[in-house]
Chains A and B, each alone.
Chain A
């Protein structure tokens, strides 16, 4: 774990973790949470729509949520890296940390697959959703739940 140690000993990681400033660890933690709430929450909205909630609501305009979700994703990655640096030796040694990364990866891939397979169809609102669309919708919800639970457990399964 020499790499983790070096990361954690770097000046910036020391500042994030040890400065006690509200602009250090606490700010990154908040940005990480806000990013999660945005990407998982908006994905949940898309999922509900595909699963038949709000049947009169056209799905196609929801494509406008994608830039917001990507910005939120970038924010969680940057803030997540900052949080990781501050505590690298612990987190990189926790199996549940990698479980979380796996869920996040699956969540993001599912999100993009939905864009390619569901939103790309110009007729999407003219016919019933395909079973692929519904499967992706359910997966998306489950993956974000998994990421959230694994993320919470990082603080407990030390």
Chain B
């Protein structure tokens, strides 16, 4: 059974390498004036933002696993974590604008210019932040130095890395988020309420859109239903924010929790199906009174089932895993 730490090793280069590739695609699309490439770049930003969710969350698990090992500096881990928090925020903003631009372009065939400007700026910032995060992450463990030179050199190396860190307290840190939640009794239940309202917002809209693709309410053409999708995206945004706050405040409840691993797995499928429903040709051309092609129906069923999976494993966090 893979743990979240394995997931971190698997995914920790996705935000940096992925953002670089998506930016390159975007630049090429401008140079070639290719609308199709532009769409691919936007889709890439959305998928990378999605994959950044497990990349970030699995880092919290990796931290818990390695922080007590010899030669591992908690100071460096925390610096990496705080940098990752910022990268995560900007990555999600980029992904959110990319989703919106895809939605708008699908509807109007236009350029969604404001969103494109936002994406160019945000992705450049994201690139810088993920590069810094990756750099700090690379400082955390030096097995090759330990093997070659022994403990003393390793300790010195760690001390040098720590000394290079900016010692000013960060504007926003994981610790501050943790304190914000644990110091005030009302914050956790308030965020949970928001997380639940976000949940039914997503599920209701996803259900309506995908039931149409499965053949219900067939007099609707899909482009008419498509207009409701931003409300599911809003729910997604609310739940990404509230979910990340829970996780940052109390990583121990999720780090080694198999239920959380499953929840994130289903979330990836659910997120990809939302991208398909929003931007791809298949659903878009389902007209009034028409049946959707089989592959579109298959994705529609997958979308509904994967959100049910997300809810099931979210609910099972305390029972299959060890949350609360």
Contact = CB atoms under 8 A, between A and B. Distances in A.
A148 B196 contact: yes
Interface string A31-59: 00110111011111100110001101110
Interface residues of B, number: 34
A48 B207 contact: no
A156 interface: yes
Contact of A41 (B207, B220, B227): B207
A131 B31 CA distance: 52
A105 interface: no
- A interface secondary structure, majority: helix
Contacts, number: 106
Given A30-B311, A33-B311, A48-B231, A61 B220 contact: yes
A29 interface: yes
B315 interface: yes
A69 to B, nearest CB: 10
B219 interface: yes
B193 interface: yes
A44 B308 CA distance: 18
Interface stretch (B4-12, B43-51, B135-143, B197-205): B197-205
Interface in A50-85: 53-54, 56-58, 61-62, 64-65, 68
Interface of B: 185, 188-189, 192-193, 196-197, 199-205, 207-208, 211, 216-220, 224-225, 227-228, 231, 308, 311-312, 315-316, 319-320
B199 to A, nearest CB: 6
A142 to B, nearest CB: 11
Contact of A44 (B185, B189, B193, B204): B204
Given A145-B197, A152-B192, A41 B224 contact: no
B200 A53 contact: no
A57 B227 contact: yes
List 10 A-B pairs, minimum CB-CB distance, nearest first.
A41-B204, A54-B227, A61-B217, A41-B200, A37-B203, A40-B200, A26-B319, A57-B224, A41-B203, A149-B193
Contacts of A56: 224, 227
A41 B201 contact: yes
A34 B316 CA distance: 13
B320 to A, nearest CB: 7
A120 interface: no
Contact of A42 (B185, B199, B207): B207
B84 to A, nearest CB: 29
